[in-house]
Amino acid sequence: MKAQSRVKSEPKTKAQLELELKKLRARLARMEKRLRVLPSHSVGLSRISKTKGRTQTISGSMGTAYHGKDDQTSRTLAETTRDIAEHQEMEGKIAHLASFREQNPNPVTEVTPAGTLYYSNAAARTLFPELERMGSKHPWLMGLQRVTDQSEEEDRRSSARELKIGDRWYEQRIYHTPERGRLRIYGTDITERKRTEEALRMSEERERQRAAELETVLQAVPAAVWIAHDPDCYHITGNATSDELLRLPRGAESSLSAPPQVRPQHFKAVKDGREMALDELPVQKAARGIPVRDFEFSLAFSDGTVRHVLGNATPLLDKLRKPRGSVAAFVDITDRKEAEKKVQESERKYRELYEGNQDGFVIVDMEGRIREFNHAYAKMLGFPGEELMALSYKDLTPYQWHAMEAEIVEKQVLPNGFSGVYEK
């Protein structure tokens, strides 16, 4: 005996069940017509019993068994009994499906496009107790005609919209059933989602404002600011001051580590008289995770000019605390370096004049202690230099001149900054 394979059928939809029920009702009508012409002794009996929570139809018949025409009657009774059982089973399935929307914890309604209410489930009645009384004027049903018209224009059988009722937000999924002229509306409470979206929107707005503020600061600060966007510094951008310092078009590539086709070619980074290697550059060094502080180097341009810069570079880290780039800020100290050079040159010349002069020069503080003197002054007094530094001008002046010199300091040096020529 061959085993027969059983294929599991897919669950039927409500529409399919309703169609089958319609066919069964037609068959039952035909069976009832036949039963009306059967002999009275062949009338069948049926009763309903429940076994383990399941409804069953138990059928039987009373009377004498017949052959010929009576066989046809028996078959008719059997078919009728079977149809009744199938009819009851089908109605049970439909009732079961119908319970889904009633027990749905979200609001479900069925209305006309004009807003006439045909059905609302328990959740809808609880959430919107005024729905039946207000009808199309209730926020849940307002504007449906406009939604329907738009869906018809776009040839869509369903649409969706969001609406706020009180302090709660809902999403409506609206399904059009033109054959019945109604709309089935399935609602979902999306209040938490809307609050999350609003919080996210506000957070994004704050971030945009902060980014705009930072951009404004970067453009306003009188320092060159560079941002490396990757650990290898293939791409570095700078603010307006940095572009001006490097003589680049606004927004151009600033990185000496960039690919050759976009890398700047008109300047070099120099320190201690030699061109720096790429891994020595402060932005590149910080992008590898090494902070750089008070770093000074020079930018030597192809036209022979040189600019000196001083600044810091700090690593940028990702969420795993690994370097993902860097940010650096440097100031142009070229003018300061030139000024320092001039001061040093001036001091050199002054020192040469000071030391080479045949007149004796001495510098004392307000207490009269000797702080500095030239070679001629030491030679004039005949003291070694280390001994002079331990004395004051009073130690070198006879006592009878102390009062006169004190008066000269008080009346000439302090008010005027100098005194007249005098002897002692």
- pLDDT tens, residue by residue, 269-326: 999 999 999 999 999 999 999 999 999 999 999 999 999 999 999 999 999 999 999 9
Residues 6+ apart with CB under 8 A from 252: 243, 264
pLDDT at 20 over 80: no
Is the separation of the CB atoms in 218 and 239 below 8 Å?
A: yes
Count structural domains, the chain: 4
Determine the average pLDDT of the residues in 344-349: 82
Q: How far apart are CA 396 and CA 365, in angstroms?
A: 15
Query: What's the predicted TM-score (pTM) here?
Result: 0.48
Within a domain: 52: yes
> What's the confidence (pLDDT) of residue 199?
93
Residue 308: predicted pLDDT? 96
CATH code of 253's domain: 3.30.450.20
User: Among the three residues 338, 361, 384, which one is the final residue of a domain in this structure?
Assistant: 338
Interior CA angle at 403 toward 402 and 409, to 5°? 90
One-letter amino acid at 29 equals A
CATH number for the domain that contains residue 134: 3.30.450
| Per-residue confidence band for 7, with pLDDT thresholds at 50, 70 and 90 | very low
Q: Beta-strand (E) ranges in 112-229?
A: 117-120, 158-165, 168-177, 182-189, 224-228
Residues 229 and 315 in one domain: yes
346: in domain: no
In a domain, 381, yes or no: yes
- Which is more confidently placed, 84 or 403? 403
Mean pLDDT of 215-243: 91
Per-residue model confidence as pLDDT tens digits over 168-182: 999 999 998 877 788
Lowest mean pLDDT among 149-153, 190-194, 342-346, 412-416: 149-153
In a shared domain, residues 333 and 228? yes
Task: Check residue 4 and give its pLDDT.
Answer: 44
pLDDT at 256 over 90: yes
Rounded average pLDDT over 358-386: 82
Contact yes or no for 266/259 (Cβ under 8 A): no
Band (75; pLDDT cuts 50, 70, 90): low
The closest alpha carbon to 372, from 351, 349, 358, belongs to 351
Buried b / exposed e along 394-422 (16+ C-beta atoms within 10 A)? beeeeeeeeeebeebeeeeeeeeeeeeee
Q: Clarify whether residues 237 and 169 are in a common domain.
A: no
Q: Is residue 296 part of a domain?
A: yes
What b/e string do you get for 52-77 counting C-beta neighbours within 10 Å, with b at 16 or more?
eeeeebeeebeeeeeeeebeebeebb
Question: Cα–Cα distance between 279 and 287 in angstroms, integer?
Answer: 10
The range of the structural domain enclosing residue 365 comes to 353-416
Looking at residues 59-81, what average pLDDT do you find?
54
pLDDT band at 257 (very low <50, low <70, confident <90, very high): very high
Share of the chain above pLDDT 70, in %: 80
Question: What angle in degrees, to the nearest 10, is found between the helix axes of 69-103 and 14-35?
Answer: 150
The pLDDT of residue 399 is: 84
Last residue of a domain, one of 189, 210, 231: 189
What are 24-51's pLDDT values in tens digits? 777 777 766 665 555 544 444 444 444 4
Confidence label for 98 from pLDDT (cuts 50, 70 and 90): low
CB of 228 closer than 8 Å to CB of 284: yes
| Mean of pLDDT over the chain | 82
Where is mean pLDDT largest: 16-25, 95-104, 183-192, 341-350?
Answer: 183-192
